[in-house]
Amino acid sequence: MSAGTPPDAGAIAAVIATYQSASTIDACLQRLRAAEGVAAIRVVDNNSNDDTLVIVQRHAAHDPRVRFIANPDNPGFAVACNQGARACGAPWLAFVNPDCMVDPDTLLRMHALAAGAQPMLLGADLVDEAGSRDAAARRRDPDFAAMLRRVLLPAGLGRPRNALALAPARWTLRSRPTTACRCSRSGQCPVH
């Protein structure tokens, strides 16, 4: 996707906010670079003083989809996510923590679940290497609609964006769909 070229309607941009992530960012970027459908990878570093940026620069030298923003301070996770989102033109955003390892087809499968839907936020079934589910990845937001509005219409981003959220620490994202949806929108959910 070059400057001035409209993005593919199915293109996915991965946004990674990092801080002291040298121990995991290499594997994360290797997986994202091999993932299907990823048109851009934006790493926003919050002033790490380990080798995080050295590793990211190595990936950027070998893959034009990888670009980075090096913040001179640590403005926080949310600011870094917004910086990364602004730095990509893809219609789909995948927020991925630097210690999350995606399978090659994971992002495309998530995208397929949302095909034809209005802007939305999707979460993934996060599991460890043994296949055990991460209980911490389960959201119980009391006002899900308000949370979606905050995520999809953040200040300064303008138009609504689609988002694929992949985040919890040190877990592998498997590409198998969840077996049951726990949402309250039966009949309107892409899983039902």
Is residue 187 scored above 60 in pLDDT? no
Each residue of 87-116: pLDDT tens digit? Answer: 988 888 999 999 888 999 988 888 888 777
Cα distance between residue 30 and residue 157, in whole Å: 28
pLDDT band at 48 (very low <50, low <70, confident <90, very high): very high
Residue type, 128: D
- Residues 191/113, Cβ–Cβ less than 8 Å: yes
Is residue 177 scored above 80 in pLDDT? no
pLDDT at 149: 61
Is residue 183 scored above 90 in pLDDT? no
Q: Which of 29-43, 87-101, 111-125, 136-150 has the lowest mean pLDDT?
A: 136-150
Q: Give the rounded percent of residues in the chain with a pLDDT score beyond 70.
A: 62
The DSSP bridge pattern shows strands 171-173 and 126-127 to be antiparallel
Q: Which of 50-54, 58-62, 118-122, 160-164 has the lowest mean pLDDT?
A: 160-164
pLDDT at 169: 33
Q: Which residue has the higher pLDDT, 147 or 18?
A: 18
pLDDT at 111: 85
* Nearest by Cα to 126 from 164, 94, 170, 93: 170
Tokens of 25: 């960012």
pLDDT at 148: 59
Provide the whole-model pTM.
0.69
Report all structural domains of the chain as residue ranges with CATH numbers, in order of start.
12-173 (3.90.550.10)
Backbone angles phi, psi at 55, to 5 degrees: -65, -45
